[in-house]
């Protein structure tokens, strides 16, 4: 009987040790791939007040030096679109749209730095806050003439969201609010980005 109790105690101890090792690994370092839906819009008279459906793909690193607080740098490739309004030609008479071009299409690299705050006793639910810098790497505006590139190449945003870590996979949702004026023509109209992001991926 004593040997049985000793065996049970050893198994419980081994299980506790394995669980602690898993928690320690979660607190220190993980990485993964991320992708999802990017619903974006541009505020300003020159654009319609609507969200456009696009995608984003990228990778991330989870660095957890503290029990309840961690860091999460990310890099994403994303597409963004914005539909012109009739006010574009009212404000800028020298801009003419070619053919049936109705949208500006941008390809961007997003550099995101998030601080994670664990919610509740587990480490599976995280509140995420931090800055984002989006760099335009390709711009298709359909604008004719000299001013073909009408957007600034960089955009700073504030990001907030929620992250649910499941075994291997995760799901999450975020909101990014642009702080920069994207108008690279002049200051007659202010353009600022907004986006809702619904994400999922794999954590290693």
User: Is residue 204 classed exposed, middle or buried when 0-12, 13-18 and 19+ CB atoms within 10 A define those classes?
Assistant: exposed
Residue 142's pLDDT is what?
73
User: CA 175 to CA 161: how far, in whole Å?
Assistant: 6
Q: Which two tokens stand for residue 57?
A: 């793909």
Residue 11 located in a structural domain: no
Residue 100's pLDDT is what?
52
Q: Which residue matches tokens 């994400």?
A: 199
Residue 7 located in a structural domain: no
Name the range with the highest mean pLDDT among 82-91, 95-104, 116-125, 186-195: 186-195
Please tell me the pTM assigned to this model.
Answer: 0.82
- CATH number reported for the structural domain that contains residue 160 in this entry: 2.40.160.20
**Better pLDDT: 11 or 147:** 147
For 56-94, the DSSP string reads EEEEEEEE--SSSEEEEEEEEEEEEEEEBPTHHHHH-TT
User: CA 53 to CA 192: how far, in whole Å?
Assistant: 17
Residue 23 located in a structural domain: no
pLDDT tens for 106-128 read 999 999 999 999 998 888 999 99
Query: Could you tell me if 118 and 129 are in contact, meaning their C-beta atoms sit under 8 angstroms apart?
Result: no
Residue 143 located in a structural domain: yes
- Does residue 46 have a pLDDT over 50? yes
Residue 9's pLDDT is what?
53
Residue 22 located in a structural domain: no
Q: Count of domains in the chain?
A: 1
Domain coverage including residue 91: 28-203
Residue 140 located in a structural domain: yes
Please state, for a pLDDT cut of 90, what percent of the chain lies above it.
61
Query: Could you tell me if 127 and 174 are in contact, meaning their C-beta atoms sit under 8 angstroms apart?
Result: no
Kindly report the backbone phi and psi dihedral angles of residue 37, in degrees, each rounded to the nearest multiple of 5, phi listed first. Answer: -90, 130
Residue 3 located in a structural domain: no
Q: Which two tokens stand for residue 85?
A: 């309004």
Q: Which residues contact 146 (CB under 8 A, 6 or more apart)?
A: none
For 150-195, the DSSP string reads -B-SEEEEEEEEEEEE-SSEEEEEEEEEE-S--B-S-SSS--EEEE
Residue 82 located in a structural domain: yes
Query: Could you tell me if 182 and 149 are in contact, meaning their C-beta atoms sit under 8 angstroms apart?
Result: no
Pick the closest to residue 143 from 151, 154, 135 (CA basis): 151
**Better pLDDT: 83 or 145:** 83
Lowest mean pLDDT among 8-22, 27-41, 103-117: 8-22
What confidence tier does 167 reach under pLDDT thresholds 50, 70, 90? Answer: confident
Compute the mean pLDDT over every residue in the chain, rounded to the nearest whole number. Answer: 85
């Amino acid at each position: 009987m004593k040997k049985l109790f000793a065996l049970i105690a050893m198994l419980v101890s081994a299980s506790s040790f394995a669980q602690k090792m898993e928690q320690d690994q979660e607190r220190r370092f993980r990485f993964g791939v991320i992708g999802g839906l990017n619903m974006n819009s541009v505020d300003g008279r020159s654009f319609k007040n609507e969200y456009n459906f696009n995608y984003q793909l990228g990778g991330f690193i989870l660095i957890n030096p503290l029990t309840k607080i961690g860091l999460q740098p990310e890099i994403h490739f994303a597409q963004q679109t914005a539909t012109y309004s009739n006010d574009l030609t009212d404000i800028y008479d020298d801009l003419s749209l070619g053919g049936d071009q109705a949208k500006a299409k941008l390809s961007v690299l997003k550099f995101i730095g998030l601080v994670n705050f664990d919610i509740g006793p587990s480490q599976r639910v995280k509140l995420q806050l931090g800055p984002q810098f989006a760099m335009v790497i390709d711009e298709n505006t359909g604008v004719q003439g000299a001013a073909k590139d009408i957007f600034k190449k960089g955009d700073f945003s504030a990001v907030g969201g929620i992250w649910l870590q499941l075994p291997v996979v995760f799901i999450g949702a975020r909101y990014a609010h642009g702080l920069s004026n994207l108008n690279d023509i002049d200051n007659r109209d202010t353009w600022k980005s907004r986006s809702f992001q619904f994400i999922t991926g794999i954590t290693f």
